[in-house]
C-alpha cells in the first residue's frame, strides 16, 4: 500500500470511528444540521443558530433511528445549544485539547445533514489566543480552518487525524469563515447550560468613553488612556460600587481598560457576583474601589 492510500484510509477510518457520535439535528426549515453526542444519557451539543424552533426537535441517530429532543438551553454569544433526548447508551466521542493543534495540521469537518455522515477536508488556518465573538461570547481559542462548511455541517465536529474532536464547527459566528468553537468553551458552556439553562454574562451598568490621561497619571498607571464614566445605570453593579460620572476607569480585576472593547471583553468572561478591584481616577488621584460584577439581563 502506498503512503497516499494509507493517508486516505486513515482519513476514512477517522470518519467511520466518529460516526456513532454524530447526529442529525432537525430544528429548522430546509436542510437539517448536525450535533455531537455529549453524554451517553442523551445530551447533544449543537450550534445555536441552527435551532430555529424550540419545539418538535428531532434527532437522527447513527443507526437510522429518529428520536425527539427538547432544548435545554442556548448561548447565542458562543453559538452553542444543548438538547436532551431520551436515548440511552449513546457513544461519547473523545475530545482533543487545542494545545496539540497547530496551523497547518490536517483536519476533517463531519456532518450528518442526511442519513449518513459526510466529510470535508482542510487544514488549521489560524489558531489564536482567547477571542471574543461579535456577539460578546468568549472562546478559549480562536480556531479557524479552511474546511468547506457544506450545508448542514454546522454543529458537527472538527476532527484531528487521531480521531479526536478539536472543536464544534459553525458558520454562524463569522459569516463565510469556517470557525470551530474549541473544546474548552464547549465544555464550559454545556456544563453551565445543563446547570442553569443559560449562560450568565458580566454586566457593570456604565456608559463609558475613552479619554487621554494626564501625563503624570499616565506614567503612574502605565497606560495612556482610560475609560471615563459618562453614565451610571440606577441599581446597577456600578452604582452599588459607588462609581460616579466623571470617574476614569483604569483597570478592573487587574485588566487594563484602555478602550471600550477592553471592558466588553473583560465582562464577557467575568464571573457574575465576583468581587473585584477597580482602579479609577477621581479628583486627579488614583484609587481603588471594590466592584461586584452584575449579570447582563
Q: Under the criterion CB under 8 A, does residue 2 sit at the interface with another protein?
A: yes
The least CB distance from residue 269 to another protein, in Å, is 35
Q: Under the criterion CB under 8 A, does residue 14 sit at the interface with another protein?
A: yes
**Sole binder of another protein in the list 12, 211, 230, 271 (CB under 8 A):** 12
Q: Under the criterion CB under 8 A, does residue 117 sit at the interface with another protein?
A: yes
Indicate which residue of 21, 47, 48, 49 is catalytic: 49
* Pick 148 or 260: Cβ nearer another protein: 148
Q: Under the criterion CB under 8 A, does residue 7 sit at the interface with another protein?
A: yes
| Residue 235: active-site member | no
Are 170 and 35 a contacting pair, CB within 8 Å?
Answer: no
Instruction: Give whole-number Cα distances, 205 to 80, 245, 265, 295, 296, in Å.
Output: 26, 12, 15, 10, 9
For residues 231 and 226, give the distance between their C-alpha atoms in angstroms, rounded to a whole number.
Answer: 15
Matching residue, cell 440606577 = 234
Are 274 and 203 a contacting pair, CB within 8 Å?
Answer: no
Number of residues that bind another protein (CB under 8 A): 27
**Sole binder of another protein in the list 29, 88, 115, 175 (CB under 8 A):** 115
Are 276 and 270 a contacting pair, CB within 8 Å?
Answer: yes
| Residue 49: active-site member | yes
Segment contacting another protein by CB under 8 A, of 4-12, 34-42, 126-134, 209-217? 4-12
The least CB distance from residue 44 to another protein, in Å, is 21
Q: Under the criterion CB under 8 A, does residue 206 sit at the interface with another protein?
A: no
* Strand 225-232, strand 165-170: pairing: unpaired
Q: Under the criterion CB under 8 A, does residue 161 sit at the interface with another protein?
A: no
Contacts to another protein from residues 29-58, by CB under 8 A: 31
Q: Under the criterion CB under 8 A, does residue 121 sit at the interface with another protein?
A: yes
Indicate which residue of 21, 47, 77, 154 is catalytic: 154
| Residue 13: active-site member | no
Binding-residue pattern over the window 131 to 150 for another protein, x denoting contact by CB under 8 A: -----------------x-x
Q: Under the criterion CB under 8 A, does residue 97 sit at the interface with another protein?
A: no
Matching residue, cell 488614583 = 286
The least CB distance from residue 59 to another protein, in Å, is 17
Indicate which residue of 62, 79, 140, 247 is catalytic: 79
Q: Under the criterion CB under 8 A, does residue 274 sit at the interface with another protein?
A: no
Chain residues in the site for another protein (CB under 8 A):
2-5, 7-9, 11-16, 31, 108, 110, 113-121, 148, 150
The residues carrying an active-site annotation are 49, 79, 154
Amino acid at each position: 500500500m502506498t503512503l497516499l492510500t494509507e493517508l486516505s484510509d486513515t482519513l476514512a477510518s477517522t470518519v467511520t470511528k466518529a460516526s456513532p457520535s454524530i447526529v442529525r439535528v432537525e430544528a429548522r426549515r430546509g436542510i437539517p444540521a448536525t450535533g455531537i453526542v455529549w453524554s451517553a444519557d442523551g445530551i447533544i451539543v449543537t450550534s445555536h443558530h441552527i435551532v430555529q424552533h424550540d419545539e418538535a426537535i428531532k434527532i437522527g441517530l447513527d443507526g437510522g433511528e429518529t428520536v425527539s429532543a427538547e432544548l435545554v438551553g442556548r448561548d447565542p454569544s458562543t453559538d452553542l445549544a444543548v438538547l436532551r433526548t431520551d436515548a440511552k447508551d449513546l457513544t461519547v466521542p473523545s475530545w482533543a485539547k487545542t494545545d496539540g493543534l497547530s496551523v497547518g495540521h490536517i483536519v476533517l469537518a463531519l456532518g450528518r445533514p442526511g442519513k449518513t455522515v459526510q466529510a470535508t477536508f482542510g487544514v488549521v488556518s489560524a489558531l489564536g489566543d482567547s477571542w471574543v465573538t461579535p456577539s460578546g461570547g468568549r472562546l478559549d481559542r480562536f480556531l479557524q480552518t479552511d474546511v468547506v462548511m457544506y450545508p448542514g455541517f454546522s454543529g458537527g465536529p472538527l476532527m484531528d487525524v487521531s480521531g479526536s474532536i478539536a472543536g464544534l464547527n459553525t458558520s454562524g459566528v463569522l459569516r463565510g469563515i469556517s470557525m470551530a468553537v474549541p473544546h474548552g468553551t464547549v465544555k464550559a458552556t454545556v456544563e453551565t447550560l445543563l446547570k442553569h439553562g443559560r449562560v450568565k454574562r458580566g454586566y457593570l451598568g456604565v456608559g463609558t468613553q475613552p479619554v487621554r490621561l494626564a501625563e503624570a497619571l499616565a506614567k503612574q498607571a502605565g497606560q495612556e488612556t482610560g475609560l471615563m464614566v459618562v453614565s451610571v445605570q440606577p441599581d446597577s453593579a456600578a452604582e452599588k460600587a459607588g462609581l460616579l460620572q466623571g470617574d476614569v476607569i483604569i483597570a478592573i480585576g487587574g485588566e487594563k481598560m484602555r478602550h471600550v472593547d477592553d471592558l466588553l471583553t473583560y465582562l464577557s468572561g467575568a464571573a457574575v457576583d465576583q468581587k473585584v478591584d477597580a482602579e479609577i481616577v477621581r479628583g486627579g488621584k488614583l484609587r481603588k474601589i471594590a466592584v461586584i460584577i452584575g449579570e447582563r439581563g
